[in-house]
Structure 1
Amino acid sequence: MKYKKYVISGVIVAAALILGLASVTTVPSGYRGVLLQLGAVKPTIFDEGINFKIPFLQTVQPMEVRVQKEESSQTAASKDLQIVTTNVAVNYSLEPGSVNKLYQQIGMDYRSRIVEPAIAEALKAITAKYTAEELISKRPEVSNEVKNMLTTKLSKYYMKLEDINIKEFAFSEEFNKAIESKQTAEQNALKAKRDLERVKIEAQQQITQASAEAEALRLKKQEVTPELIQLKQIEVQQKAVEKWDGHLPSVTGGATPFIDFSTLEKKK
């Protein structure tokens, strides 16, 4: 009898211990616990940490509420019917206070059932509104429209869009060649325009210089007066006198011969 009491006591303690352990559950950091009672979703949501439940009747399904990342690559047609492959990274999170509804309506495969299709639909819808060149030149605007559409779609299923990053727009090889040719043509046109402007400037500079020279010549002509001419003649005569050595020329350029008096004096 004595050992029987010990056995019974041991069984009771073990059962109590098992029940105690079974009634305690721990929700990891960054998660919320969806309480299930015999498979049915209960309104109670467990926060991270230690929580209590009814042993064997209730279970807890942890659901991550931290920011999650989904990368996707979608091919669609632009407004001008160019094939565009868009690589995008989407950050989203589950609404902590509604994880039980999400689990009840969607389940744990919400990523493949909701997130991925929503990204594909948003990208294709927005891509079709812009031409291929506009997707590049208006990238912030395109990203904002995709973000707004995704925000609306995910919010219907108790998810919050945190951010979106369009990593790349990839086009067909033919389109890339067309863009390259267009850029080359634009660069050549810009160079030709600059050359033309340079030629015009140089021509204008030559015209200005010629006008200045003509004006200077005109002013010089206005300065030439009879008095100035007479003064110049006097200056020339003075210089000639200064250079004369006192001897008269023996030959003149006229018809009358010039007599050399020095020769006559020697004859006498």
Structure 2
Amino acid sequence: MNMERRGFPVWSIVAIVLIILGAITAGLSIETVPEGSRGVVTKWGKVTGRTLGPGMNFLNPIGVDVISVNVRTRKFEQIEEAATKDQQDVQATVVVAYHPEPQRVGQIYTDHGLDYEAKLVTPGVTESIKVATAHYSAEQLVTQRAQASDEISKIITAKLAANGIIADSVNLINYQFSADYTKAIEDKVAAEQLAKTEEMRVRIVTAQAEQAVVAAKGEAEAIALMAKALADAPDVLKLKQIEMMREKWDGIMPRVVGADGMSLLMTTGE
């Protein structure tokens, strides 16, 4: 009230404050970038090279616009057709989890706009599958699946990284050949496995036979040595016979009953 009596109404003071604040903020505007995104700043439609992080950002509003680019991980899944080293057609199902590199979203937007999946990810994955598959025959894609999948993953990762796209994971879900060709491969693999099993069985039988020969040879040599020893010392053989007789004797002398009923003691002599 004192101010009003002095000729300074309250509303005029409020107006002055607002004018001052307006003058301070006249050159600024607030731009909010969502979480999981980056803001690409353009001026008069041209990318300035400035990228805004998530949250509130102050900008000069004159001719300035902010394009929000999602940098969260996305899932890309596609069935790709390719040819093997031996010219067999194959379909490969691949799943890629990816996101644009936050520091390069400005360049990505400048070169490809917001539809970078169609312009970078799809052709990058397609080309990588064709290049990697051409390194293997159809049979090798089946028998060396882990190695082929690893190579495809590395090629896709490098291809996307060159264009500012980070591959978080690459999974090769399946290779699909024609039914006849798939069966032919399976039959060949089964035949090779059977041949290896038979080869191992033959090795085992051969080893057992060799062991039997060695054992028989050793036994024959032992018998020959014993025979030679006995031939060189015949008394040893007689002594051995006597020892065997003693082992069997029950200690009772043999008796023979004569015609007159008398018992006769049998004696042995040489």
Considering the TM-score relative to the shorter chain, is it more than 0.5?
yes
- Alignment of 1:71 with 2:77, yes or no, is yes
Of residues 224, 227, 234, the one that matches 1:226 is: 234
Larger Rg: 1
Change (3 A) 1:243 1:164: same
Per the TM alignment, residue 169 of structure 1 is displaced from its structure 2 partner at its CA by 2.4
Deviates more, 1:227-236 or 1:210-219: 227-236
Q: Percent same amino acid at aligned positions?
A: 32
- Cα deviation code 1:183-240 (max 9, x no counterpart): 3212322332233223323323432333233233223323433324555479879x7x
Residue 117 of structure 2 is matched in structure 1 by: 111
Q: Distance in 2 between matches of 1:76 and 1:120?
A: 9
Per the TM alignment, residue 73 of structure 1 is displaced from its structure 2 partner at its CA by 1.8
Q: Distance in 2 between matches of 1:37 and 1:234?
A: 122
- Alignment of 1:202 with 2:208, yes or no, is yes
- Alignment of 1:245 with 2:255, yes or no, is yes
- Cα deviation code 1:103-140 (max 9, x no counterpart): 22211111112210111011112211211233345445
Number of residues paired by the alignment? 238
Of residues 205, 215, 222, the one that matches 1:216 is: 222
- Matched AA of 2:218: A
Per the TM alignment, residue 86 of structure 1 is displaced from its structure 2 partner at its CA by 1.6
Q: Is the contact between residue 45 and residue 100 of structure 1 (CA under 8 Å) also seen in structure 2?
A: yes
Per the TM alignment, residue 152 of structure 1 is displaced from its structure 2 partner at its CA by 4.9
Q: Distance in 2 between matches of 1:140 and 1:69?
A: 22
Q: Distance in 2 between matches of 1:49 and 1:121?
A: 38
- Alignment of 1:34 with 2:43, yes or no, is no
Q: Distance in 2 between matches of 1:49 and 1:144?
A: 39
Listed as ranges, the gaps of 5+ residues in structure 2 are: 1-10, 263-270
Per the TM alignment, residue 78 of structure 1 is displaced from its structure 2 partner at its CA by 0.4
Change (3 A) 1:171 1:218: same
- Matched AA of 2:255: D
- Alignment of 1:43 with 2:49, yes or no, is yes
- Matched AA of 1:131: S
Matches within 5 A, 1:7-156: 23-55=29-61, 57-139=63-145, 141-156=147-162
Q: Is the contact between residue 35 and residue 42 of structure 1 (CA under 8 Å) also seen in structure 2?
A: yes
Per the TM alignment, residue 31 of structure 1 is displaced from its structure 2 partner at its CA by 1.0
Residue 257 of structure 1 is matched in structure 2 by: none
Per the TM alignment, residue 76 of structure 1 is displaced from its structure 2 partner at its CA by 0.8
Q: Distance in 2 between matches of 1:175 and 1:91?
A: 31
What RMSD over aligned residues (CA atoms) do the two structures have, in Å?
Answer: 3.6
Q: Is the contact between residue 53 and residue 59 of structure 1 (CA under 8 Å) also seen in structure 2?
A: no
